[in-house]
Chains A and B, each alone.
Chain A
Amino acid sequence: MVTTHPGSPASAAASGPTDDEQVEMMRRMIDANVFSTRIFNLQRQGRVGTNAPIDGSEAIAVGAAAALDPKQDWIYPQYREQYGLGRFGDELLDLIVLYNMGHPGGGAYPEHLRVFPYQISLATQIPHAVGTAWGMKVKGDPGCSLVFFGDGSSSEGDFYEAANLAGVRKAPVIFVLINNGWAISTPTSSQTGAESFAAKAHAFGFPGRRIDGTDPIEVYRTIAEARARATGGMGPMLVEAVTYRLGHHTTADDPTKYRHADEVEAAKSREPVAKFAALLGARGLWSDEQTAAQEASAHERFDGAWERAQATTWQPSDMFEHTYATPTPRMLRQRAEMIAHLAAEGEA
């Protein structure tokens, strides 16, 4: 079953989100946007490394996380979505800051946080998510796993191999393909000859849906339905969430080289955060004052995270900490040599 129209109503099978949940999603979308902008700007000041802003994916990350159970489900992100996954643990913000600083603590996600660290090697997280779902099924654990990946990433063999396995094992996994129109400078027309990305699900033996990824309510309902299917033993679903990458691919990118300003201009009317604020506003659930207040609180929380990150200690020899459970004798020799060398150079 493939629905090919963005904006088509999600199945009535999923109820919700409630008004409270919608307001909560609104808050988290604003947070995601502020955190992402702050990290982007810090790169411009040379204080963090290359990073990918969330611009355009807020409703997908936040809507999907809202439809999952942070105590039972797993999320395998690519690299844009972490900003929107605060519902799985607000300490994510501290980790995001450390990670983008290039701090050795940036991968130290605490035990209870069912979110995987940033994935840079595209599509490799998809087999991981299928493995987790498969293992949960074998063990009889409740819950499911959800994996985010891009239109570009969907061209990798890892996607096809993992989706095929998931179909065979009826693994409780939700594939969320974020179609934001671009993979750096490569448009989706150079990525696939298929009528849609969602259509590919058919060949794997499970349903594919193409939805409006700028609408968090539609995302929520679709993921809720996919979760009910997955945890009910009916296997995977592929969700193609259509949006538009409004900003730079990363801080290292110059999109004016390869796409027209009018295309970006046209997509701005679908900017998820402002669009959702207007929708909730019209229903009396949200106001401009609340937007301003939420932005202020997000900035304040970011300031706190930035301060904590500055105070988080590290040392060069941290690099030897997590290669193995126990470092090899040769690594211990290297570590000692490094420490001695730095002492001799007066750096230690």
Chain B
Amino acid sequence: MTVMTMVEAINHTLHEEMARDDRVMVFGQDVGINGGVFRATEGLSAAFGDDRVVDMPLAEGVIAGSTVGLAVAGMVPVAEIQFLGFAYQAMHQIVGQIARLRTRSAGRFEAPITIRAPFGGGVRTPELHSESLESQFANCPGLKIALPATAADAKGLLAAAIRDPDPVLFLEPLRGYRMVKDDVPDGEHVVEFGKARTSREGSDVVIIAWSYMVELANRVADSLAAEGVSVRVLDLRTVVPLDVDAIADAVSACGRAVVVQEAPETCGFGSEVIATAMERCFYDLEAPIERVSGYDTPYPVGMLEDYWVPDAPRIEAAVRRVLGTSA
């Protein structure tokens, strides 16, 4: 084990995967000599050369679209979109093409493509640098979506993404790049998609979350433990595929649940989680499931963002409401 920040774990995994498989190519904006604007690709161009680590022209459409052709040519593309909000410029390729390649060719062509992008906000970035688009993409069959909450999972899920025969959106918590830090297994470490992780054990209520919201859920669980409230935290890790059994087991065991997402409320992935729990656990529920989310506005300007992004007090208030212990 080695203690690493999230961004160090990502960088380390990219190095390992490029060394393991010489078909792996990393490309995007400023990923070469600059090592990426968050330093996730630091050192790759020096280690693997400019043919495998490529600074692309500034155009997300062709960054995404060329992965299809590269995959057909036998490469394993790992593309970076500098900020998830600029995936909008690549939507027709990611959604209209990459997700459908296998379907359209009746299984002939695979898209072993990984698209990495920073996800979510909380660090006072300019407009469109803080988007949480997991539910938009989850609504596009053909894509898998991984959202690590720990550095160890960043390694395990990224290795799994790069080796997956299908396209994976690998969404990295912007706020977690340097704030999330934990023990990362040395050597081979692959985390299977579709297996949620219990981040805190507990039996009174479960908080279901993914990406950086898991960190906040953990804090709430730890602080309520002091009051004798037993809070479980379930980290979904991937939203496609979804670990339906883990959701059902946790909700049934606790009888009460709160779902936390950073995206706006309407049609967020939390709705899918709650619908799933309703289908599987209706008779075990002691209270309506609550959700904590961003509001139904575009992600706001810097001075307002702390009021928009869910924080520990909002999560804690929701937990108290489902427990019926609100002041």
Chain A residues with a Cβ under 8 A of chain B:
49-50, 79, 101-104, 106-107, 118, 120-122, 152-153, 155-158, 183-186, 190-192, 252-253, 257-258, 314, 316, 318-320, 323, 328, 330-331, 334-335, 338, 341-342, 344-345
Contacts and interface: CB of A to CB of B under 8 A. Distances in A.
Contacts of A318: 304
A153 B58 contact: yes
B58 A183 contact: yes
Q: Shortest 10 CB-CB distances between A and B: which pairs?
A: A102-B302, A185-B34, A155-B57, A316-B307, A152-B58, A319-B300, A155-B58, A120-B127, A155-B59, A102-B303
Interface residues of B, number: 42
B125 interface: yes
Contact of A314 (B37, B60, B303, B308): B303
B128 interface: yes
B128 A120 contact: yes
A36 to B, nearest CB: 16
B30 A185 contact: yes
Interface string B293-305: 0011110111111
24 contacts: A50-B124, A50-B126, A104-B303, A118-B127, A120-B129, A121-B88, A155-B58, A156-B58, A184-B30, A190-B56, A190-B57, A258-B33, A314-B304, A316-B304, A319-B304, A319-B307, A323-B298, A334-B295, A334-B296, A338-B295, A341-B314, A341-B317, A344-B317, A344-B327
Contact of A323 (B126, B127, B265, B296): B296
Contact of A157 (B61, B129, B308): B61
B96 interface: no
Nearest to A158: B89
Contact of B89 (A103, A156, A192, A253): A156
Contact of A49 (B29, B125, B265): B125
Contact of A319 (B35, B60, B308): B308
Given A121-B127, A258-B34, 10 more contacts: A104-B300, A106-B301, A118-B126, A120-B129, A121-B86, A191-B57, A257-B33, A318-B304, A323-B297, A330-B296
B268 interface: no
A185 B34 CA distance: 6
Contacts of A344: 317, 327
A121 B128 contact: yes
A121 B89 contact: yes
B55 interface: yes
B164 to A, nearest CB: 28
Interface of B: 29-30, 32-35, 37, 55-61, 85-86, 88-89, 124-129, 265-266, 295-298, 300-305, 307-308, 313-314, 317, 327
Nearest to B126: A120
Contacts of B126: 49-50, 79, 118, 120
Given A102-B302, A183-B58, A319-B304, A257 B265 contact: no
A122 B58 contact: yes
B230 to A, nearest CB: 24
A44 to B, nearest CB: 14
A106 B126 CA distance: 12
Contacts of A152: 58
Nearest to B42: A257
B157 to A, nearest CB: 26
Contacts of A257: 33-35
Nearest to A99: B301
A257 B128 CA distance: 26
Nearest to B50: A190
Contacts of B327: 344
With a 10 A CB-CB cut-off, give which of B33, B60, B301, B304 has the most chain A CB atoms: B301
Nearest to A153: B58
B34 A157 contact: no
A316 to B, nearest CB: 4
A35 to B, nearest CB: 18
A307 B327 CA distance: 41
A156 B56 CA distance: 11
Given A328-B296, A330-B266, A103 B301 contact: yes
